A and B are shown apart, each in its own frame.
Chain A
Amino acid sequence: MAAASKADKSAKSKQPKASTHRQRKIMQPAKRGTVSRATIRKVIREVIANRPATNEN
């Protein structure tokens, strides 16, 4: 049992770990503006959805 558990641990340690060191968050906290963040998000998603297709994408 103990040997199996050790083997499990060893196998787990060999699995590649997801790298997190290049992740960066947007830190800016929400501020009380004249338009809600939900509305802004909805409009931006619509703009993104209507972007013309390019070779880059």
Chain B
Amino acid sequence: MKTDYSRSVFLNCPFDERYLPIFHAIVFTVIECGYIVRCALEILDGSEVRIDKIVKIISDSKFGIHDISRTELDKVTNLPRFNMPLELGLFLGAKRFGGNKQRNKICLILDKAPYRYQSFISDIAGQDIQMHKNDDSEAVKAVRNWLRSISGRVTIPGGKETLRRYRQFTAELPVICEGLKLTIDEMTFNDYINVVSEWLKENPSFLTAAP
């Protein structure tokens, strides 16, 4: 698949049910801002090794959103899940050691509380780290503000407007799912991004509408 490197955003985040509202909010915001979401869930080929999928997507994406908010001790094993910090490391490694194209990579790091990362990954101090406080509204604003500031694009709507449109979308999503004979939980990642893209095309913001 041919990809647009300069518009692709690698999404490195948890995929559990508890995180779903924030995951959905981030995906909506990235597409609304005119960028392409890339994530390990997009590849359905089970024969491909997971880390290979991730490395390929990282190399195809100029931008990365890394949510390290779920770096916490597992109740059963008493060990942290460390996939997100590992993938953040791969992204930063590509930026540091990759060719010219890879060196212009830019990332946003999300966590749930300020300065929490200093207890387990203090070497990332100095990166752009924003809080979402486990709240989807905060996630929408953080991602929107970051994409607006790194792109300098005036076509990206304001935070309140993006959130208003996201709320309208989430209010209609159950009805859309009903029409598609699916529940929200049953939607695959690809289904969700197709629904978001089509909804945004049918509901252009005043900035996207042709003059």
Q: Give Cα A23 to B156, complex, Å.
A: 10
Which of chain B's residues has its CB closest to A42's CB?
A: B179
**What residues of B have a CB within 8 angstroms of the CB of A27 in the complex?**
4, 7, 31, 34-36
Interface assignment of A39: CB less than 8 Å from any CB of chain B: yes
Q: Identify A32's interface contact among B153, B176, B190, B207, CB under 8 A.
A: B190
Q: Which residues of chain B come closer than 8 Å to A35, judged between CB atoms?
A: 180, 182, 191, 194
Q: DSSP class of A's interface residues: helix, strand, loop or mixed?
A: loop
Q: How far is the CB of B88 from chain A (nearest CB, A)?
A: 23
- List residues of A whose CB falls within 8 A of some B CB: 18-35, 37, 39-41, 43-48
The chain B residue with its CB closest to the CB of A19 is: B211
Given known A-B contacts A33-B190, A35-B182, A39-B180, A28 and B202 have beta carbons under 8 A apart: no
With A35-B194, A40-B194 in contact, do A24 and B175 touch (Cβ < 8 Å)? no
Q: State in angstroms the CA–CA spacing of A43 and B172 once bound together.
A: 11
A-B contact pairs, 24 of them (CB 8 A): A19-B211, A22-B154, A23-B208, A24-B155, A25-B34, A26-B200, A26-B208, A27-B4, A27-B7, A27-B36, A28-B31, A28-B197, A30-B194, A30-B197, A31-B189, A33-B191, A34-B188, A34-B191, A35-B180, A35-B182, A35-B194, A40-B195, A43-B176, A45-B202
A-side contacts of B190, CB under 8 Å: 31-34
Q: How far is the CB of B199 from chain A (nearest CB, A)?
A: 5
A39–B198 alpha-carbon span in the complex (Å): 10
Q: Which of A30, A31, A41, A45 has the most CB of B within 10 A?
A: A31
A14 to chain B, nearest CB (A): 18
Write out, one digit per residue, whether chain B residues 15-45 have a CB within 8 A of any chain A CB (1) or not (0): 0000000000000000100111100001010
Q: Give residues of chain B (105-119) contacting chain A, Cβ–Cβ below 8 Å.
A: none
Inter-chain contact B199/A24, CB cutoff 8 Å: no
- Closest chain-A Cβ to B20's Cβ sits at a distance in Å of 17
Chain B residues with CB under 8 A of A18: 211
Given contacts A31-B42, A41-B198, contact A23 B191 (CB under 8 A): no
Q: Are A47 and B175 in contact (CB under 8 A)?
A: yes
What are the residues of chain A within 8 A of B188 when measuring CB–CB?
A: 33-34
**Given A33-B190, A34-B188: A40 in contact with B198 (beta carbons within 8 A):** yes
